[in-house]
Protein backbone atom coordinates (compact mmCIF):
# COMPACT_ATOMS: atom_id res chain seq x y z
CA UNK A 1 0.00 0.00 0.00
CA UNK A 2 1.37 3.35 -1.05
CA UNK A 3 1.28 6.20 1.45
CA UNK A 4 -1.50 8.59 0.33
CA UNK A 5 -0.36 12.17 -0.12
CA UNK A 6 -3.81 13.66 -0.63
CA UNK A 7 -7.22 12.70 0.73
CA UNK A 8 -8.90 13.59 -2.48
CA UNK A 9 -7.90 14.75 -5.95
CA UNK A 10 -11.19 16.54 -6.41
CA UNK A 11 -10.97 20.35 -6.39
CA UNK A 12 -13.58 20.67 -3.68
CA UNK A 13 -13.96 24.40 -4.13
CA UNK A 14 -15.54 23.66 -7.52
CA UNK A 15 -18.14 21.23 -6.13
CA UNK A 16 -20.98 20.42 -6.41
CA UNK A 17 -20.70 18.82 -9.84
CA UNK A 18 -22.80 20.51 -12.46
CA UNK A 19 -23.94 17.13 -13.86
CA UNK A 20 -27.69 16.38 -14.01
CA UNK A 21 -29.26 14.73 -10.95
CA UNK A 22 -28.63 10.99 -11.02
CA UNK A 23 -25.93 11.24 -13.72
CA UNK A 24 -23.22 8.64 -13.21
CA UNK A 25 -20.31 10.90 -14.17
CA UNK A 26 -19.71 12.09 -10.59
CA UNK A 27 -19.41 8.49 -9.39
CA UNK A 28 -16.68 7.73 -11.92
CA UNK A 29 -14.80 10.94 -11.09
CA UNK A 30 -14.93 9.94 -7.41
CA UNK A 31 -13.60 6.50 -8.29
CA UNK A 32 -10.75 8.09 -10.25
CA UNK A 33 -9.92 10.35 -7.29
CA UNK A 34 -9.84 7.29 -5.01
CA UNK A 35 -7.59 5.44 -7.43
CA UNK A 36 -5.15 8.38 -7.55
CA UNK A 37 -5.18 8.39 -3.76
CA UNK A 38 -4.44 4.64 -3.68
CA UNK A 39 -1.45 5.28 -5.92
CA UNK A 40 -0.18 8.24 -3.93
CA UNK A 41 0.49 10.25 -7.05
CA UNK A 42 1.63 13.85 -6.90
CA UNK A 43 -1.02 16.01 -8.65
CA UNK A 44 1.74 17.55 -10.77
CA UNK A 45 2.61 14.20 -12.32
CA UNK A 46 -0.95 13.56 -13.48
CA UNK A 47 -2.51 15.01 -16.63
CA UNK A 48 -6.24 14.49 -17.12
CA UNK A 49 -7.20 14.88 -20.76
CA UNK A 50 -10.91 15.41 -21.31
CA UNK A 51 -12.90 15.06 -24.50
CA UNK A 52 -16.02 17.03 -25.44
CA UNK A 53 -19.51 16.38 -24.10
CA UNK A 54 -20.68 16.30 -20.50
CA UNK A 55 -17.50 14.39 -19.58
CA UNK A 56 -15.58 17.41 -20.87
CA UNK A 57 -16.77 19.35 -17.84
CA UNK A 58 -14.63 17.13 -15.63
CA UNK A 59 -11.19 18.70 -15.79
CA UNK A 60 -12.04 21.58 -13.48
CA UNK A 61 -12.93 19.13 -10.71
CA UNK A 62 -9.37 17.86 -10.42
CA UNK A 63 -6.34 19.34 -8.69
CA UNK A 64 -4.07 17.78 -11.31
CA UNK A 65 -2.90 19.15 -14.67
CA UNK A 66 -5.65 19.11 -17.28
CA UNK A 67 -6.05 19.32 -21.03
CA UNK A 68 -9.41 20.00 -22.64
CA UNK A 69 -9.25 19.69 -26.42
CA UNK A 70 -11.49 18.85 -29.37
CA UNK A 71 -14.22 16.27 -29.80
CA UNK A 72 -12.91 12.76 -30.35
CA UNK A 73 -9.27 13.79 -30.33
CA UNK A 74 -8.50 13.52 -26.59
CA UNK A 75 -6.60 10.26 -27.10
CA UNK A 76 -4.28 11.87 -29.67
CA UNK A 77 -3.34 14.70 -27.29
CA UNK A 78 -2.82 12.23 -24.45
CA UNK A 79 -0.45 10.14 -26.57
CA UNK A 80 1.50 13.27 -27.53
CA UNK A 81 1.86 14.33 -23.90
CA UNK A 82 2.97 10.87 -22.79
CA UNK A 83 5.43 10.45 -25.65
CA UNK A 84 7.08 13.77 -24.85
CA UNK A 85 7.18 13.32 -21.09
CA UNK A 86 6.94 9.70 -19.93
CA UNK A 87 7.23 10.86 -16.30
CA UNK A 88 3.65 12.07 -16.49
CA UNK A 89 0.68 9.82 -15.79
CA UNK A 90 -1.88 10.52 -18.50
CA UNK A 91 -5.57 9.68 -18.22
CA UNK A 92 -8.23 10.27 -20.87
CA UNK A 93 -11.84 10.89 -19.92
CA UNK A 94 -14.01 10.40 -23.00
CA UNK A 95 -17.65 9.62 -23.73
CA UNK A 96 -19.29 7.19 -26.13
CA UNK A 97 -19.70 10.18 -28.45
CA UNK A 98 -15.94 10.78 -28.47
CA UNK A 99 -15.35 7.09 -29.14
CA UNK A 100 -17.58 7.44 -32.19
CA UNK A 101 -16.11 10.54 -33.82
CA UNK A 102 -12.65 9.53 -32.65
CA UNK A 103 -13.06 5.80 -33.18
CA UNK A 104 -10.10 5.63 -35.50
CA UNK A 105 -7.90 7.31 -32.89
CA UNK A 106 -9.13 4.85 -30.28
CA UNK A 107 -8.19 1.74 -32.19
CA UNK A 108 -4.90 3.24 -33.37
CA UNK A 109 -3.94 4.32 -29.86
CA UNK A 110 -4.44 0.69 -28.82
CA UNK A 111 -2.08 -0.31 -31.65
CA UNK A 112 0.42 2.45 -30.88
CA UNK A 113 0.42 1.36 -27.24
CA UNK A 114 1.34 4.64 -25.59
CA UNK A 115 1.15 4.19 -21.84
CA UNK A 116 -2.14 6.04 -21.29
CA UNK A 117 -5.35 5.05 -19.54
CA UNK A 118 -8.66 5.71 -21.27
CA UNK A 119 -11.82 5.84 -19.16
CA UNK A 120 -14.92 5.73 -21.34
CA UNK A 121 -18.00 7.34 -19.82
CA UNK A 122 -20.43 5.26 -21.88
CA UNK A 123 -24.03 6.37 -21.35
CA UNK A 124 -25.43 5.34 -24.74
CA UNK A 125 -26.26 8.76 -26.12
CA UNK A 126 -25.14 12.37 -26.46
CA UNK A 127 -26.08 14.09 -23.23
CA UNK A 128 -24.69 17.56 -23.79
CA UNK A 129 -26.46 18.21 -27.08
CA UNK A 130 -29.90 16.87 -26.16
CA UNK A 131 -29.80 13.07 -26.26
CA UNK A 132 -28.99 12.18 -29.86
CA UNK A 133 -27.94 8.62 -30.68
CA UNK A 134 -24.29 7.62 -30.39
CA UNK A 135 -22.24 4.64 -31.61
CA UNK A 136 -23.21 2.63 -28.52
CA UNK A 137 -26.96 3.36 -28.57
CA UNK A 138 -28.69 -0.03 -28.25
CA UNK A 139 -30.79 -1.25 -31.15
CA UNK A 140 -34.40 0.05 -31.21
CA UNK A 141 -33.62 2.77 -28.67
CA UNK A 142 -35.46 6.05 -28.73
CA UNK A 143 -33.23 9.12 -28.89
CA UNK A 144 -33.65 12.67 -30.19
CA UNK A 145 -32.42 11.51 -33.59
CA UNK A 146 -33.97 8.02 -33.61
CA UNK A 147 -37.51 8.86 -32.58
CA UNK A 148 -38.81 5.59 -34.05
CA UNK A 149 -35.95 3.49 -32.74
CA UNK A 150 -32.28 3.12 -33.57
CA UNK A 151 -31.47 0.77 -36.44
CA UNK A 152 -27.65 0.85 -36.20
CA UNK A 153 -25.74 -2.02 -34.64
CA UNK A 154 -24.10 -0.75 -31.44
CA UNK A 155 -20.31 -0.51 -31.33
CA UNK A 156 -18.47 -2.62 -28.75
CA UNK A 157 -15.89 -0.12 -27.48
CA UNK A 158 -14.02 -2.55 -25.24
CA UNK A 159 -14.12 -5.19 -27.98
CA UNK A 160 -12.67 -2.71 -30.46
CA UNK A 161 -9.76 -1.89 -28.16
CA UNK A 162 -9.26 -5.59 -27.48
CA UNK A 163 -8.93 -6.78 -31.06
CA UNK A 164 -6.64 -3.89 -31.98
CA UNK A 165 -3.89 -4.66 -29.53
CA UNK A 166 -5.11 -2.95 -26.37
CA UNK A 167 -2.98 -4.44 -23.60
CA UNK A 168 -5.43 -3.87 -20.75
CA UNK A 169 -9.12 -3.83 -21.60
CA UNK A 170 -11.98 -4.02 -19.13
CA UNK A 171 -15.69 -3.38 -18.99
CA UNK A 172 -17.28 -2.00 -15.85
CA UNK A 173 -20.21 0.05 -14.62
CA UNK A 174 -20.28 3.30 -12.69
CA UNK A 175 -21.90 1.36 -9.85
CA UNK A 176 -19.05 -1.11 -9.33
CA UNK A 177 -17.70 -0.92 -5.80
CA UNK A 178 -14.26 -1.97 -7.03
CA UNK A 179 -14.07 0.66 -9.79
CA UNK A 180 -11.17 2.52 -8.06
CA UNK A 181 -9.19 -0.74 -7.93
CA UNK A 182 -9.99 -1.45 -11.57
CA UNK A 183 -8.78 2.06 -12.52
CA UNK A 184 -5.59 1.51 -10.53
CA UNK A 185 -4.96 -1.79 -12.35
CA UNK A 186 -5.50 -0.09 -15.68
CA UNK A 187 -3.11 2.72 -14.76
CA UNK A 188 -0.46 0.29 -13.55
CA UNK A 189 -0.54 -1.48 -16.91
CA UNK A 190 2.54 -0.44 -18.90
CA UNK A 191 0.89 0.46 -22.19
CA UNK A 192 -2.53 1.33 -23.52
CA UNK A 193 -5.35 0.59 -21.08
CA UNK A 194 -9.07 1.14 -21.50
CA UNK A 195 -12.07 0.69 -19.26
CA UNK A 196 -15.45 0.88 -20.95
CA UNK A 197 -17.55 2.17 -18.05
CA UNK A 198 -21.31 1.84 -18.53
CA UNK A 199 -23.42 4.59 -17.08
CA UNK A 200 -26.86 6.11 -16.90
CA UNK A 201 -27.79 9.36 -18.62
CA UNK A 202 -30.74 10.33 -16.46
CA UNK A 203 -31.55 13.42 -18.50
CA UNK A 204 -32.25 11.63 -21.76
CA UNK A 205 -31.49 7.96 -22.33
CA UNK A 206 -32.95 6.65 -19.06
CA UNK A 207 -36.23 8.50 -19.39
CA UNK A 208 -36.76 7.85 -23.07
CA UNK A 209 -36.02 4.14 -22.85
CA UNK A 210 -36.99 3.15 -19.32
CA UNK A 211 -33.39 2.11 -18.88
CA UNK A 212 -32.33 1.92 -15.25
CA UNK A 213 -29.51 0.10 -13.57
CA UNK A 214 -31.34 -3.24 -13.76
CA UNK A 215 -32.11 -2.83 -17.46
CA UNK A 216 -28.51 -1.87 -18.13
CA UNK A 217 -27.25 -5.06 -16.49
CA UNK A 218 -29.85 -7.07 -18.43
CA UNK A 219 -28.69 -5.44 -21.67
CA UNK A 220 -25.07 -6.29 -20.82
CA UNK A 221 -26.07 -9.97 -20.43
CA UNK A 222 -28.20 -10.01 -23.56
CA UNK A 223 -25.29 -8.65 -25.62
CA UNK A 224 -22.83 -11.13 -24.09
CA UNK A 225 -20.71 -8.16 -23.13
CA UNK A 226 -19.47 -9.37 -19.78
CA UNK A 227 -17.89 -7.02 -17.24
CA UNK A 228 -14.46 -7.40 -15.68
CA UNK A 229 -10.99 -7.56 -17.21
CA UNK A 230 -11.35 -8.74 -20.79
CA UNK A 231 -7.70 -8.68 -21.80
CA UNK A 232 -4.43 -8.28 -19.96
CA UNK A 233 -1.35 -8.87 -22.05
CA UNK A 234 2.16 -7.50 -21.87
CA UNK A 235 3.88 -6.01 -24.86
CA UNK A 236 6.42 -3.21 -24.90
CA UNK A 237 4.79 0.20 -24.66
CA UNK A 238 5.54 2.84 -27.30
CA UNK A 239 8.02 4.46 -24.96
CA UNK A 240 9.96 1.23 -24.47
CA UNK A 241 9.93 0.33 -28.16
CA UNK A 242 10.86 3.82 -29.25
CA UNK A 243 13.73 3.99 -26.78
CA UNK A 244 15.15 0.98 -28.62
CA UNK A 245 14.74 2.79 -31.92
CA UNK A 246 16.44 5.88 -30.52
CA UNK A 247 19.35 3.77 -29.27
CA UNK A 248 19.84 2.15 -32.67
CA UNK A 249 19.39 5.43 -34.52
CA UNK A 250 21.86 7.27 -32.29
CA UNK A 251 24.62 5.17 -33.84
CA UNK A 252 23.73 6.40 -37.33
CA UNK A 253 25.21 9.53 -38.87
CA UNK A 254 22.95 12.57 -39.07
CA UNK A 255 21.71 13.55 -42.53
CA UNK A 256 24.24 15.44 -44.56
CA UNK A 257 24.12 17.04 -47.95
CA UNK A 258 25.93 16.08 -51.09
CA UNK A 259 28.54 18.81 -51.36
CA UNK A 260 30.59 19.06 -54.54
CA UNK A 261 33.74 21.02 -55.28
CA UNK A 262 33.72 22.91 -58.55
CA UNK A 263 37.03 21.59 -59.91
CA UNK A 264 36.14 21.63 -63.61
CA UNK A 265 35.07 24.50 -65.77
CA UNK A 266 32.67 25.35 -68.54
CA UNK A 267 32.27 28.25 -70.91
CA UNK A 268 28.57 28.01 -71.77
CA UNK A 269 26.90 31.41 -71.87
CA UNK A 270 23.24 30.66 -71.53
CA UNK A 271 21.00 28.08 -69.87
CA UNK A 272 20.48 24.73 -71.58
CA UNK A 273 17.28 22.83 -70.87
CA UNK A 274 17.54 19.06 -71.32
CA UNK A 275 14.82 16.43 -71.03
CA UNK A 276 15.63 12.73 -70.75
CA UNK A 277 12.54 10.66 -71.50
CA UNK A 278 12.52 6.95 -70.93
CA UNK A 279 10.79 4.20 -69.05
CA UNK A 280 10.77 3.00 -65.48
CA UNK A 281 13.74 0.80 -64.70
CA UNK A 282 16.02 2.58 -67.17
CA UNK A 283 17.66 4.69 -64.43
CA UNK A 284 16.61 7.89 -66.19
CA UNK A 285 16.51 10.01 -63.03
CA UNK A 286 19.88 8.68 -62.00
CA UNK A 287 21.31 9.75 -65.39
CA UNK A 288 19.70 13.16 -64.86
CA UNK A 289 21.49 13.39 -61.53
CA UNK A 290 24.78 12.53 -63.23
CA UNK A 291 24.37 15.32 -65.80
CA UNK A 292 23.33 17.82 -63.11
CA UNK A 293 26.21 16.82 -60.85
CA UNK A 294 28.76 16.92 -63.68
CA UNK A 295 27.57 20.42 -64.58
CA UNK A 296 27.80 21.44 -60.92
CA UNK A 297 31.33 20.05 -60.69
CA UNK A 298 32.09 22.31 -63.66
CA UNK A 299 31.02 25.45 -61.85
CA UNK A 300 27.58 25.59 -63.48
CA UNK A 301 24.21 25.85 -61.72
CA UNK A 302 21.56 23.19 -62.09
CA UNK A 303 18.06 22.08 -61.27
CA UNK A 304 16.79 18.55 -61.74
CA UNK A 305 13.12 17.59 -61.73
CA UNK A 306 11.87 14.05 -61.94
CA UNK A 307 8.51 12.91 -63.21
CA UNK A 308 7.21 9.35 -63.04
CA UNK A 309 3.91 7.62 -62.29
CA UNK A 310 3.00 6.94 -58.66
CA UNK A 311 3.44 3.22 -59.34
CA UNK A 312 7.01 2.01 -59.71
CA UNK A 313 8.76 -0.14 -62.30
CA UNK A 314 6.10 0.71 -64.85
CA UNK A 315 5.36 3.51 -67.29
CA UNK A 316 7.39 6.58 -68.16
CA UNK A 317 10.33 8.12 -66.35
CA UNK A 318 11.38 11.65 -67.21
CA UNK A 319 14.22 13.83 -65.91
CA UNK A 320 14.27 17.56 -66.65
CA UNK A 321 17.63 19.22 -66.16
CA UNK A 322 18.42 22.92 -66.42
CA UNK A 323 22.14 23.72 -66.71
CA UNK A 324 23.07 27.37 -66.47
CA UNK A 325 26.09 29.66 -66.08
CA UNK A 326 24.03 31.68 -63.54
CA UNK A 327 21.94 30.33 -60.65
CA UNK A 328 18.74 28.77 -62.00
CA UNK A 329 15.72 30.90 -61.22
CA UNK A 330 12.95 29.59 -63.43
CA UNK A 331 13.33 25.80 -63.24
CA UNK A 332 10.46 24.82 -65.52
CA UNK A 333 10.84 23.55 -69.07
CA UNK A 334 8.17 24.64 -71.51
CA UNK A 335 10.49 24.13 -74.49
CA UNK A 336 13.58 21.94 -74.16
CA UNK A 337 16.76 22.82 -76.01
CA UNK A 338 17.66 19.15 -76.06
CA UNK A 339 15.50 16.06 -75.66
CA UNK A 340 16.69 12.48 -75.54
CA UNK A 341 14.09 9.79 -76.19
CA UNK A 342 15.11 6.38 -74.93
CA UNK A 343 11.78 4.57 -74.53
CA UNK A 344 8.34 4.79 -76.17
CA UNK A 345 6.71 5.63 -72.81
CA UNK A 346 8.96 8.65 -72.39
CA UNK A 347 8.52 9.71 -76.00
CA UNK A 348 4.74 9.71 -75.55
CA UNK A 349 4.93 11.47 -72.19
CA UNK A 350 6.91 14.45 -73.51
CA UNK A 351 5.23 14.64 -76.93
CA UNK A 352 3.74 17.99 -75.89
CA UNK A 353 7.19 19.35 -75.08
CA UNK A 354 8.97 18.00 -78.17
CA UNK A 355 6.25 19.55 -80.34
CA UNK A 356 7.14 23.01 -79.02
CA UNK A 357 10.83 22.61 -79.87
CA UNK A 358 12.28 24.69 -82.70
CA UNK A 359 14.58 23.98 -85.61
CA UNK A 360 17.60 25.08 -83.61
CA UNK A 361 16.79 22.49 -80.92
CA UNK A 362 17.80 18.85 -81.05
CA UNK A 363 16.00 15.61 -80.37
CA UNK A 364 18.20 12.54 -79.96
CA UNK A 365 16.33 9.27 -80.26
CA UNK A 366 17.08 5.63 -79.55
CA UNK A 367 16.40 2.90 -82.13
CA UNK A 368 12.84 3.01 -83.40
CA UNK A 369 11.89 6.26 -81.62
CA UNK A 370 12.60 8.71 -84.44
CA UNK A 371 10.09 10.48 -86.62
CA UNK A 372 8.96 12.82 -83.86
CA UNK A 373 6.16 15.29 -84.58
CA UNK A 374 8.42 18.31 -84.10
CA UNK A 375 10.31 20.86 -86.20
CA UNK A 376 13.42 20.18 -84.11
CA UNK A 377 16.56 18.69 -85.60
CA UNK A 378 16.27 14.91 -85.05
CA UNK A 379 19.32 12.71 -84.70
CA UNK A 380 19.77 9.08 -83.67
CA UNK A 381 21.64 8.32 -80.45
CA UNK A 382 24.77 6.84 -82.03
CA UNK A 383 26.61 5.06 -79.27
CA UNK A 384 30.13 3.83 -80.02
CA UNK A 385 30.14 0.41 -81.73
CA UNK A 386 31.82 -1.18 -78.70
CA UNK A 387 29.07 0.16 -76.40
CA UNK A 388 26.16 -1.40 -78.26
CA UNK A 389 26.17 -4.47 -76.05
CA UNK A 390 25.85 -2.19 -73.00
CA UNK A 391 22.63 -0.60 -74.21
CA UNK A 392 20.51 -3.00 -72.18
CA UNK A 393 22.70 -2.57 -69.12
CA UNK A 394 22.20 1.15 -68.73
CA UNK A 395 20.98 3.10 -71.72
CA UNK A 396 20.52 6.20 -69.57
CA UNK A 397 24.17 6.35 -68.51
CA UNK A 398 25.17 5.78 -72.13
CA UNK A 399 22.88 8.62 -73.15
CA UNK A 400 24.41 10.87 -70.49
CA UNK A 401 27.85 10.03 -71.90
CA UNK A 402 26.69 10.61 -75.45
CA UNK A 403 25.06 13.96 -74.65
CA UNK A 404 28.13 15.08 -72.77
CA UNK A 405 30.28 14.37 -75.82
CA UNK A 406 27.81 15.89 -78.31
CA UNK A 407 26.76 19.01 -76.42
CA UNK A 408 30.13 19.89 -74.98
CA UNK A 409 28.59 21.74 -72.02
CA UNK A 410 31.24 20.54 -69.59
CA UNK A 411 34.25 18.21 -69.70
CA UNK A 412 33.67 14.47 -70.05
CA UNK A 413 35.95 14.02 -67.03
CA UNK A 414 33.37 15.92 -64.95
CA UNK A 415 30.78 13.28 -65.82
CA UNK A 416 33.17 10.51 -64.77
CA UNK A 417 33.92 12.38 -61.56
CA UNK A 418 30.17 12.75 -60.91
CA UNK A 419 29.81 8.97 -61.21
CA UNK A 420 32.59 8.50 -58.65
CA UNK A 421 31.23 11.08 -56.21
CA UNK A 422 27.49 10.47 -56.22
CA UNK A 423 27.02 6.79 -56.99
CA UNK A 424 27.59 3.78 -54.81
CA UNK A 425 30.96 2.10 -55.57
CA UNK A 426 29.49 -0.99 -57.25
CA UNK A 427 27.19 1.03 -59.52
CA UNK A 428 29.93 3.57 -60.18
CA UNK A 429 32.21 0.79 -61.39
CA UNK A 430 29.62 -0.43 -63.89
CA UNK A 431 28.88 3.08 -65.12
CA UNK A 432 32.54 4.05 -65.44
CA UNK A 433 32.91 0.92 -67.55
CA UNK A 434 30.03 2.09 -69.74
CA UNK A 435 31.48 5.60 -70.07
CA UNK A 436 34.87 4.13 -71.02
CA UNK A 437 33.43 3.31 -74.45
CA UNK A 438 33.47 7.02 -75.26
CA UNK A 439 37.19 7.41 -74.73
Partner 1 sequence: MSHNNQRREMIDGAAAIARGALDAGCNFYAGYPITPASEILTHMLRELPKVGGIGLQGEDEISSLGHCIGAATAGATVFTATSGPGLSLYSENIGLAIMMEVPLVIAISQRLGPSTGAATASAQGDIQFMRWCTSGGYPVIVLSPTNIPESYHLTNRAFKLAKRFRSPVFIATDKETVMTTESVAESEMLNAPNWPAILDEPVDKPLDPYQKNGTIHHYTGSSHTEEGHITKDPEIIAEFNERLKNKIGDQVDEIALVKTDLQEGADTLIISYGVSARSMETAVNQLRDQGEKVSALTVYSLWPVPEMKILGCLKGIKRVIIPEMNHGQYRHEIERLANENVDLIGVNRVDTFLITPEEIIEAYYG
Residues 87-106 that bind partner 1 (CB under 8 A): 87-88, 104-105
Q: Which of residues 162-191 bind partner 1 (CB under 8 A)?
A: none
Between 115 and 134, how does the x/- string for binding to partner 1 read (CB under 8 A)?
Answer: --------------------
- Side-chain-facing half-sphere of 270: CA atoms under 13 Å: 2
Q: Give the one residue of 8, 39, 65, 268 binding partner 1; rule: CB under 8 A.
A: 65
Indicate whether 328 belongs to the interface with partner 1 (CB under 8 A). Answer: yes
The partner residues of 340 in beta bridges, in order of sequence, read 276, 364
Q: Give the one residue of 143, 231, 237, 302 binding partner 1; rule: CB under 8 A.
A: 302
Q: Which helix (H) or strand (E) holds 13?
A: none
CA–CA separation, 401 vs 383, rounded Å? 9
Indicate whether 249 belongs to the interface with partner 1 (CB under 8 A). Answer: yes
| DSSP-derived pairing of the beta strands 46-50 and 89-95 | parallel
CA–CA separation, 93 vs 305, rounded Å? 49
- Name the CA radius of gyration of the chain, rounded: 34
Q: Which helix (H) or strand (E) holds 272?
A: strand 272-279
Q: Give the one residue of 1, 148, 153, 259 binding partner 1; rule: CB under 8 A.
A: 259
Judged by DSSP in three states, 424 sits in coil
Contact 114, 75 (CB under 8 A): no
Query: At residue 70, what are phi and psi to the nearest 5 degrees?
Result: -100, 160
Interacting span for partner 1 (CB under 8 A) from 144-152, 153-161, 326-334, 392-400: 326-334
Minimum Å gap between C-beta 275 and partner 1 is: 14
Indicate whether 221 belongs to the interface with partner 1 (CB under 8 A). Answer: no
DSSP codes of every residue in 286-341: HHHHHHHHHHHHTT-EEEEEEE--SSSSSSEEEEEEEEESS-------SS-SEEEE
Between 262 and 281, how does the x/- string for binding to partner 1 read (CB under 8 A)?
Answer: x--x----------------
> Which C-beta is closer to partner 1: that of 170 or that of 339?
339
Q: Give the one residue of 24, 35, 64, 117 binding partner 1; rule: CB under 8 A.
A: 64
Q: Which of residues 223-242 bind partner 1 (CB under 8 A)?
A: 242
Indicate whether 246 belongs to the interface with partner 1 (CB under 8 A). Answer: yes
Rounded alpha-carbon distances, angstroms, from residue 230 to 16, 95, 116, 158, 366: 34, 20, 17, 8, 67
* Residue 362, number of CB atoms within 10 A of its CB: 19
Indicate whether 411 belongs to the interface with partner 1 (CB under 8 A). Answer: no
Q: Which of residues 332-371 bind partner 1 (CB under 8 A)?
A: 332, 334
Indicate whether 314 belongs to the interface with partner 1 (CB under 8 A). Answer: no
> Which C-beta is closer to partner 1: that of 142 or that of 294?
294
Q: What is the DSSP code (8-state) at residue 10?
A: B
Outline where 92-178 has alpha helix (H): 96-101, 103-112, 157-163
DSSP codes of every residue in 373-402: SSSSEEEE----GGGGGGHHHHHHHHHHHH
Q: Give the one residue of 258, 367, 371, 385 binding partner 1; rule: CB under 8 A.
A: 258
Indicate whether 427 belongs to the interface with partner 1 (CB under 8 A). Answer: no
Minimum Å gap between C-beta 20 and partner 1 is: 19
Q: Give the one residue of 219, 301, 412, 438 binding partner 1; rule: CB under 8 A.
A: 301
Contact 314, 248 (CB under 8 A): no
| DSSP-derived pairing of the beta strands 125-126 and 338-341 | unpaired
Q: Give the one residue of 29, 81, 276, 400 binding partner 1; rule: CB under 8 A.
A: 81
Interacting span for partner 1 (CB under 8 A) from 23-31, 165-173, 256-264, 360-368: 256-264
Indicate whether 16 belongs to the interface with partner 1 (CB under 8 A). Answer: no
Contact 91, 32 (CB under 8 A): yes
CA–CA separation, 400 vs 278, rounded Å? 13
Q: Which of residues 19-48 bind partner 1 (CB under 8 A)?
A: 42-45, 47
Indicate whether 63 belongs to the interface with partner 1 (CB under 8 A). Answer: yes
Indicate whether 157 belongs to the interface with partner 1 (CB under 8 A). Answer: no
Interacting span for partner 1 (CB under 8 A) from 168-176, 199-207, 217-225, 302-310: 302-310
> Which C-beta is closer to partner 1: that of 88 or that of 225?
88
Rounded alpha-carbon distances, angstroms, from residue 363 to 260, 289, 319, 357, 396: 30, 20, 15, 9, 15
Minimum Å gap between C-beta 308 and partner 1 is: 11
Indicate whether 77 belongs to the interface with partner 1 (CB under 8 A). Answer: yes
> Which C-beta is closer to partner 1: that of 21 or that of 257?
257
Judged by DSSP in three states, 35 sits in helix
Minimum Å gap between C-beta 59 and partner 1 is: 6
Indicate whether 250 belongs to the interface with partner 1 (CB under 8 A). Answer: yes
Amino acid sequence: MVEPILDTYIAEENLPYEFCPGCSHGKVLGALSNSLKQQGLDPSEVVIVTDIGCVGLSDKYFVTHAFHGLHGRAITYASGIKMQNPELTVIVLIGDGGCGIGGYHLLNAARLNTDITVLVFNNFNFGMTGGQHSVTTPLDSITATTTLGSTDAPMDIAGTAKVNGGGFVARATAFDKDLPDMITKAMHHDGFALIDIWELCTAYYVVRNDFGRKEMMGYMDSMNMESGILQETERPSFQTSYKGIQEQASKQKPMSGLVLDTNFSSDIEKPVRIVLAGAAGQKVVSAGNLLASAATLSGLWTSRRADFPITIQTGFSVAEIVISPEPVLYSGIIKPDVAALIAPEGKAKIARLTKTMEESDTIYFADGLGDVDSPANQLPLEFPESAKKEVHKNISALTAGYLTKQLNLFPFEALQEAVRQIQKPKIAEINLGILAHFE
